[in-house]
Amino acid sequence: MPVTKSAKKALRQNRKTRSQNLALKTRLQSLLRQFKKQPKAKLLPRLYSTLDTAAKNRLIHKNKAARLKSRFSRTLSP
């Protein structure tokens, strides 16, 4: 357990960040599974937004987000 005041604050920050990252990661994974299972154009904007947010928060790399967005838009176009 942390002893100093700054270490206690760092622990609080780490816990908060971890919970936010886990929430975003699970939301992203569920959207990806949902889209892969049944691709719909209605789901694409939510998926794009979540991918962009995950890339902005450095949860995934920005190039990975771009690659996934490209692949998913290709699955919808004939």
- On the question of pLDDT at 78 being above 80, the answer is no
The range of the structural domain enclosing residue 22 comes to: 5-76
* pLDDT reported for residue 65: 98
* CB distance 46 to 31 below 8 Å: yes
**Confidence at 76, pLDDT banded by 50, 70, 90:** confident
Q: List the CATH number of the domain containing 48.
A: 1.20.58
Query: How many domains, the chain?
Result: 1
Over residues 3-49, the pLDDT tens digits come to 999 999 999 999 999 999 999 999 999 999 999 999 999 999 999 99
Residue 57: closest CA among 49, 47, 69, 67: 49
- Entry pTM: 0.87
